[in-house]
Amino acid sequence: MRQSAEKRGSILDGACGFQGGNFVVTGASGYLGRRICESLLQSKARKVLAIDTRAPVDPLPEGVAFLYADILDLRTLTQRFHGSDAVLHVASYGMSGKEMLNRKKTREINVLGTRNVIAACIAAGVARLVYTSTYNVVFGGVPISNGSELLPYYPAEKHVDEYSASKTVAEQLVLSANGAYLPEGSSGSYPQRQLATCAIRSAAIYGEGEERHFPRIVRSMNRGLFCITIGDPSSKVDWVHVDNLVHAHLKACQHLLAPLSASRLPGGPRSAQSAHGVAAGQAYFISDGAPVNNFQFLRGVSDALGVRFPAVAAPVWAMITLAWCIEIVWQVLSAAGIEFNPLITRAEVLKVGVTHYFSTAKAKAELGYDPPVSPSEGQRRLVEDILHKEERQKALLQAQRTVSGSTLGGFLSVQRPHLVWWMAVLSGMALLALCACGPTPLPGDTGSTSLGSFAANARRHRQHFAGIVCG
């Protein structure tokens, strides 16, 4: 059952301190951005401006003003940021699916768009900027257990996907802008002379109404494609419930102006310019704090849907090779004007199959991060929401069959996706067989998926990766 905005707000009251303020949220039509807008209203913000390039699927809450605008439009951003106390920059592109393979647009939005947001904040005299970042800025395929903010950035040029590379660059831009001087007479309720910035490094997001990861996962399960797991069953990753992530964003925004505490955990260098708030210039890992095998996390969903849990685990290197083949096919077909949502990409293989989880100790100590939703409660809500959607979908299909009156049409409407996806899987398996003794595109590659580079790298990469992952 989906929680109401009012109830969600009540569990986020610990992140208050926004009464009477003016806030801007970029990417506000997305899952996280919308929830941040709702919670700002619950925290008594006077005005919330939601910016996005697509209209919200559902109407935004009363009190949220929507602006159709692109973060690549610096002039519009600067005009609309005037009078704001803080900007929460959530907008991004290329996180998963076919978007991930559009390298040009991903870099344009994530890097140039972030540059524009920073420039607009400075020009408009906005005092605070909270940036939604990702674990990927430090993770690139090498296992990490209980990592901290002391870890260095993973080299952007070594990422296998543009999303991770561009988010790495963008986070550094945001944090380096901390302390930038604002023009005289800066607007907002908290007049100060310098910009305070921070970054929230999010784990994979889940929750009721999530619209990016779980619709793909459920479709794959329903099509019979949930037939293998990836990586060692002992591998662990982090997840974060959307309410916990919203809570972290509001806490970070609040503490960009909070007085410095006498005692702090070490978590990275702090410049003299960061004296206006404990969070200024800082990055924070945010999760539920309960590392779990990725596929065991999904088991609650598969059990609820009546889908048998896979008994076979595919090695990471094999799935990397398959994903590489899929990316090549996607590039060839997309060049011909034919696009499809890839079954899986190399970056997704690394995310689900290689251990990487992080401590939230710094966020708890400095921001007062206290996840309002427990992992068990979050899982329960997720499963209930998915089952509710499945029941609605079945009812809709049944109604369509009744209206059409065609048994054959109903059969094809249900079975055709199964056949198409299975054909795609079998084609991929054939490519995998051809390449099994060939190359494996891995972290450290340039990201090229040309057939020439594919043939040139050969076994060296697979052996390198096996050495990293298998120890």
DSSP string, 206-265: E-TT--SHHHHHHHHHHTT----EES-TT--B-EEEHHHHHHHHHHHHHHTSSPPPSS--
Question: In the Cβ-directed half-sphere of 207, how many Cα atoms lie within 13 Å?
Answer: 21
d(CA 469, CA 285) in angstroms, rounded, equals 23
Residue 141 has what pLDDT?
95
Q: In whole angstroms, what is the distance from residue 55 CA to residue 30 CA?
A: 10
The CA-based angle 188-192-196, given to 5 degrees, is 95
Active site residue 181: no
Active site residue: 131, 135, 163, 369, which one? 163
- State how far the alpha carbon of 356 is from the alpha carbons of 151, 292, 348, 456, in Å: 12, 10, 13, 30
Could you tell me which residues come within 8 angstroms of residue 453 by beta carbon, excluding any fewer than 6 positions away? 445, 446
Q: What is the pLDDT along the chain (471 residues), one digit of tens a residue?
A: 444 444 444 334 444 468 889 999 999 999 999 999 999 999 999 999 999 999 888 888 888 999 999 999 999 999 999 999 999 999 999 998 889 999 999 999 999 999 999 999 999 999 999 999 999 999 999 999 999 999 999 999 999 999 999 999 999 999 999 999 998 765 555 556 899 999 999 999 999 988 888 888 898 898 888 899 999 999 999 999 999 999 999 999 999 975 544 334 444 444 433 446 899 999 999 999 999 999 999 999 999 999 999 999 999 999 999 999 999 998 888 888 888 888 889 999 999 999 999 999 999 999 999 999 999 999 999 999 999 988 888 888 777 777 765 544 444 444 444 545 555 655 655 555 555 545 555 555 544 544 444 444 445 545 555 544 444
CA–CA dist 444, 283 (Å, integer): 24
Any idea which residue has 């296998």 for tokens? 160
Query: Helix, strand, coil % (nearest 5) of the chain?
Result: 50, 15, 40
Contacts of 375 (CB under 8 A, 6+ apart): 239, 241, 288, 290, 292
CB atoms within 10 A of CB 392: 10
Q: Which residues contact 241 (CB under 8 A, 6 or more apart)?
A: 205, 206, 207, 288, 371, 373, 375, 378, 381
Tell me the CB-side half-sphere exposure of residue 448, using CA atoms within 13 A: 10
Q: What are the residues whose beta carbons fall under 8 Å from the beta carbon of 457, sequence distance 6 or more?
A: 439, 440, 441, 445
Cα(414)–Cα(387) distance, rounded to whole angstroms?
18
Residue the block writes with tokens 């094999």: 318
How does 249-284 read in b/e, with b if 16+ C-beta sit within 10 Å?
A: bbbbbbbbbbeeeeeeeebeebeeebebbbbbbbbb
- 3-state SS class at 20: coil
Q: Which two tokens stand for residue 129?
A: 């900027």
Cα 233–424–386 angle (5° rounding)? 55
Distance (Å, rounded) from C-alpha 201 to C-alpha 131?
A: 9
**CB environment 210-239: b (16+ within 10 A), e (fewer):** beebbebbbebbbeebbeebbbbeebbbbb
How far apart CA 438 and CA 45 sit, in angstroms, is: 57
Residue 276 in 3-state DSSP?
A: helix
Domains delineated in the chain: 5-211+237-290+355-374 (3.40.50.720)
Distance of alpha carbon 18 from alpha carbon 192, whole angstroms: 17
305 and 225 Cβ atoms separated by less than 8 Å? no
The beta-strand segments (E) located in 324-369 are 356-358
Report residue 177: phi and psi, to 5°: -80, -10
